[in-house]
Amino acid sequence: MIEIERKFLVTSEAFKKEAFEQNRIKQGYLSSVPERTVRIRVKADNAYITIKGVSNETGMSRFEWEKEIPVAEAEKLLLLCEKGAIDKTRFEIKIGNHTYEVDEFYGENKGLIIAEIELHSEGETFEKPSWLGKEVTNDNRYYNSNLSINPFMNW
């Protein structure tokens, strides 16, 4: 139940041609406290509740627990969420042995595109595509929970 991921800015939209799947996602936070963020997400015809703990010193690892819930329940829970819902399209791109999840944000986060890659260990190596830019793994501003509070357009 430990998530290990790295985050990068994306420098071009070339990734879209490489995507094998894309889905619109809407999500909100019942709690955006870093020690225990509680997220509600609707992705296509599925919905989830996710609890994440605080990140370690590198920003790469943290506790994550997720369960699928009925979409109708998620829609009701979204109404209880804190101000600042996240609206984005997620593109999934297979590169080597890994799948990048690239999020193109809308609304108050329009213009922001972030790529994430989940790893088995913090030291694991992976291929970096040409559209991958600066690493922002340890920059808390790029956490979705923080983007819901302090959107990209306000930076």
pLDDT digits (tens, 9 = 90+) for 107-123: 999 999 999 999 999 99
96: left (phi over 0), alpha (psi -120 to 50) or beta: left
CA dihedral (56, 64, 144, 101) in degrees, to 10, reads 100
Q: Is the distance from CB of 154 to CB of 108 less than 8 angstroms?
A: yes
29 is catalytic: yes
Residue ranges of domains in the chain, CATH in brackets:
2-154 (2.40.320.10)
Q: Cα–Cα distance between 107 and 152 in angstroms, integer?
A: 10
pLDDT digits (tens, 9 = 90+) for 14-46: 999 999 999 999 999 999 998 999 999 999 999
Q: Exactly one of 29, 100, 142, 143 is catalytic; which is it?
A: 29
